[in-house]
Amino acid sequence: MAVLVVADHDNTHLRDNTHKTVTAALALSPDVDVLVTGQGVAGVAAEAAKIKGVRKVLTAESEALGKHIAEAVSGAVVPLMAGYDAVLAPATSDGKNFAPRVAALLDVAPISEILEVVDPETFVRPIYAGNALETVRSSDAKKVITVRATAFKATEEGGSAPVEAVDPGPGAPRTRFVSDEIVKSDRPELAAAKIVVSGGRAMGSAEEFHRVIEPLADKLGAAVGASRAAVDAGYAPNDYQVGQTGKVVAPQLYIAIGISGAIQHLAGMKDSKVIVAINKDGDAPIFQVADYGLVADYKTAVPELMTALAAAGK
């Protein structure tokens, strides 16, 4: 059996999610091809060709694919599925957008956001905001799977797969791209960062969130996250949100500041290697998952932390 992985990228660079999805794909079959759908993606395809274990890289290019329009992506993927037994994509906003369409068009059940490949038919996935894990066996001849990338290790580089162009499909004639508003940041991307500093509702205002959380994140070279409560209150933009309704992260170090630890937030960060919680309420549920807890008001604790980091050479 052969498996197709649909690459995650921004038309310029391949994202690490692709490498992690290739790892999941290799658990299904040794024959893994990567499809890059986009526009002007020669550079991305060259990066994908270097992933160890990849047999072949396919590129499909059109204007609609360059904007990641779901109808266009599924239109490019479905005809290719004659030659594959499974297609995998990372469970990013793009992956979630097109994968179920591919499943519907193939008349199979999609398998969303898998955490583990038990065998080529059987997968573990989170349900109820990660409060339960469901092991499902698929009886479909062709499988359509999205992968929670943080649950898999990235494959190494060192491959040299050939690249070939394929038919981009019919595009999306009834869907028009209007505009993108992508937040530009020098900080690492939240889902891929080694360190994440997150702020909660205790910040009290957007100004305070910027003043407290961002300098600490920059000192550590970390990405900035936020709890849903902080996002709902307007202290931080939605794409900062860590949790079941936002992003799921698993960095080496996760620092939660003024976050109580609602179930829905924990679902988004509990797989981090080391968790630090700073909260003035010693009974906050966040301390039940924290490796290191500091019961203190962030107003004094964060400046002290900045000083201690500076003293430690950070």
One residue of 74, 198, 260, 279 binding other proteins per CB under 8 A: 74
Single-letter residue type at 249? V
**Cα separation of 193 and 161, whole Å?**
28
Q: Per-residue string for binding with other proteins, 121-160, x by CB under 8 A?
A: -x---xxxxxxxxxxxxxxx--------------------
Selected range binding other proteins among 22-30, 47-55, 204-212, 306-314, rule: CB under 8 A: 306-314
Distances (CA, A) of 225 to 84, 159, 197, 209, 221: 38, 34, 6, 10, 13
CA atoms within 13 A of residue 2's CA, in its CB half-sphere: 13
Q: Least distance to other proteins from the beta carbon of 314, Å?
A: 7
- Residues pairing with 54 in the sheet: 32
Three-state secondary structure call for residue 86: strand
Asked if 117 is part of the footprint of other proteins (rule: CB under 8 A), the reply reads no
Name residues contacting other proteins, limited to 233-272 (CB under 8 A): 238-239, 244-245, 247, 252-253, 263, 270
Single-letter residue type at 235? Y
Structure tokens given for 60:
């499909």
Selected range binding other proteins among 32-40, 41-49, 91-99, 158-166, rule: CB under 8 A: 91-99
Asked if 44 is part of the footprint of other proteins (rule: CB under 8 A), the reply reads no
Name residues contacting other proteins, limited to 177-196 (CB under 8 A): 177-183, 189, 191, 195
Number of residues that bind other proteins (CB under 8 A): 90
**CA terminus-to-terminus distance, the chain:** 50
Name residues contacting other proteins, limited to 270-289 (CB under 8 A): 270, 273-276, 282, 287-289
Q: Residue 56 or 280: which CB sits closer to other proteins?
A: 280
Distances (CA, A) of 248 to 6, 27, 86, 145: 20, 22, 24, 17
Name residues contacting other proteins, limited to 198-217 (CB under 8 A): none
Name residues contacting other proteins, limited to 10-29 (CB under 8 A): none
Neighbours of 178 (CB within 10 A): 5
Asked if 293 is part of the footprint of other proteins (rule: CB under 8 A), the reply reads yes
Q: Least distance to other proteins from the beta carbon of 208, Å?
A: 19
**Cα separation of 247 and 267, whole Å?**
10
Asked if 1 is part of the footprint of other proteins (rule: CB under 8 A), the reply reads no
Q: Residue 161 or 168: which CB sits closer to other proteins?
A: 168
Contact 137, 9 (CB under 8 A): no
